[in-house]
Chains A and B, each alone.
Chain A
Amino acid sequence: MQVPAPFEYERATSVDHAIELLNRLGSEARIIAGGHSLLPMMKLRMAAPEYIIDINDLSAELQYINISDNEIRIGALTRHQQLLESDELAAALPIFRDAEKVIADPVVRNKGTLGGSLCQADPSEDLSAVCDALDASCVIKGLDGERMVSMHDFHRGPYETAVADGEMLTEVRIPLRPNSSSAYHKVERRAGDWAVASAGAAVTMDGDVIADGRVGLCAVGPNLTNIEPISEALRGQAPSEELYARVGQIAADNSSPNTDTRGTAAYKTHLAKELTIRSLRKAVARATGTDTGAVA
């Protein structure tokens, strides 16, 4: 039987209360949201916090998708299922629905949250790649108020984020730009599994050329946020298969996957390239209104 090591349980009644608890209980306190990353880690003793602070009652403060003209703000406690089902989010940022369809399974998606996924900072976790492609920022709250960090600064490395002791992630902010779209492609061995590899792309068009483009990769290296050579290669270029192939190669060159039961390093590197190509092709087609609805 797998059960977590003993801990004390606290239930937060507000965000301020959660932060107060975090500060009072110290570095051995951890927040639990959906629990689908933290509890398995605790069962395996890879995590053994002395205090668990349950924030599931804070839906009024932390569970929302607010869309304005130039930005989308998503509360940290927003569940995968809401991210999947929101038509408004899918219209503005189709990469979310692409990714959410293949994150875990429907029952797990009822519990798992955006904030929990990002704070877990697993290199194989899809939403970090999504938020990186979208140039998102994370709002971190502590006793001294809020601070905002880019995904690049948020994701410090495997299982490590910019959230310090006594702080919590409360919101993710994503800029909305005109003439833009996005897409996500993942290869997994079976429904609900971790990615063998995935790639997400977001592009902003200026007439016939790509004004700005970003690619987020997942499961092919310890920390792949903000791959600047990709954005440099895309900037000011007209979309073409040749361009996608060149950028796909940059993605592959920046990947450093391990050989494991999900595949060889060579296969994953190949996927980093091919999924980057497919995501870019799809994102550009969507942004230019030429998407035929084809899968790849």
Chain B
Amino acid sequence: MQVTMTINGEEVSREVEPRTLLVHFLRDHVGLTGTHWGCDTSNCGTCVVWIDEEPVKSCTHLAAMAGGHAVRTVEGLEVDGELDPVQEGFIQCHGLQCGFCTPGMMMTARALLDRNPDPDEATIREAISGQICRCTGYSTIIRSIQWAASKERETAVELAGASNEGASA
């Protein structure tokens, strides 16, 4: 069957078997290997991508079901060569060791910060509770997300300051 969806803002269409899972559609048919394929049982969360701005586990989702929807993968975090603050946070705070869980962790983190710009540690832990870091590097992952949150709040304050100056000028 023909499956057409938007991936990171671009329309993509492929002929696939109806049983094709979204994670394999992205990796094997579209060549976006940033999304990782892990446990295959919706436990580990390394395959998390967004569908219409909501994180979902792409190993337990048919590509056909995503037809007509907007998918965002880890490749879509970087915009015009500029890293997302979540990606920067993972660099600054050593949020990855082997890197296998990282794409899913970052997509879930991005969704969390879009809804809650100032999550406390318990909220972050709850948000990533469906994801497994087999290096057990959870503390640095949490610090990375906190780093991104605080950077974004600072940027928001700066932007607000700049626009106030603009208004008074």
Binding site for B on A (CB under 8 A): 1-9, 11, 32, 35-36, 39-40, 43, 52, 54, 56, 104-108, 110-111, 191-192
Contact = CB atoms under 8 A, between A and B. Distances in A.
B70 interface: no
B56 A111 contact: yes
Nearest to A191: B129
B54 to A, nearest CB: 5
Contacts of B55: 106-107, 110
A7 B40 CA distance: 19
Contacts of A43: 40-41
Contacts of B65: 32, 35, 54, 56
B108 interface: yes
A9 B1 contact: yes
Interface in B48-95: 48, 54-57, 60-62, 64-65, 67
Contact of B18 (A39, A52, A106, A108): A52
B42 A40 contact: yes
13 contacts: A3-B21, A6-B18, A7-B18, A7-B19, A9-B62, A52-B62, A54-B64, A107-B56, A107-B57, A107-B108, A107-B131, A111-B57, A192-B130
B33 interface: no
A35 B60 contact: yes
A89 to B, nearest CB: 19
Contacts of A40: 41-42, 60
Which of B21, B43, B60, B61 has the most CB atoms of chain A within a 10 A radius of its CB?
Answer: B60
A6 B57 contact: no
A32 B62 contact: yes
Contact of A106 (B40, B62, B130): B130
Interface in B99-142: 108, 126-127, 129-131
Contacts of A32: 62, 65
Contacts of B48: 107
A45 B54 CA distance: 29
A192 B1 contact: no
Contacts of B127: 106
A9 B41 contact: no
Interface of B: 1, 17-21, 24, 40-43, 45, 48, 54-57, 60-62, 64-65, 67, 108, 126-127, 129-131
A35 B108 contact: no
A11 B45 CA distance: 27
B33 to A, nearest CB: 15
A36 B19 contact: no
A191 B130 contact: yes
B40 A111 contact: no
Q: Which 9 A-B pairs have the closest CB atoms?
A: A105-B130, A9-B18, A191-B129, A2-B40, A107-B130, A4-B19, A9-B64, A110-B54, A107-B55
A3 B130 contact: no
Contacts of A106: 55, 108, 126-127, 129-130
B19 A192 contact: no
B17 A6 contact: yes
B43 A5 contact: no
Contacts of B57: 36, 107-108, 111
A105 B40 CA distance: 16
Contact of A108 (B19, B42, B62, B126): B42
A7 B19 CA distance: 7
A9 B108 CA distance: 29
Nearest to A3: B19
A3 B64 CA distance: 14
Contacts of B130: 104-108, 191-192
B133 to A, nearest CB: 13
A107 B21 contact: no
B162 to A, nearest CB: 34
Contacts of A3: 19-21, 24
Given A105-B129, A106-B55, 4 more contacts: A2-B40, A32-B65, A107-B57, A107-B130
Contacts of B129: 105-106, 191-192
Contacts of A11: 64, 67
Which of B17, B62, B127, B131 has the most CB atoms of chain A within a 10 A radius of its CB?
Answer: B62
A124 B126 CA distance: 22
A192 B130 CA distance: 7
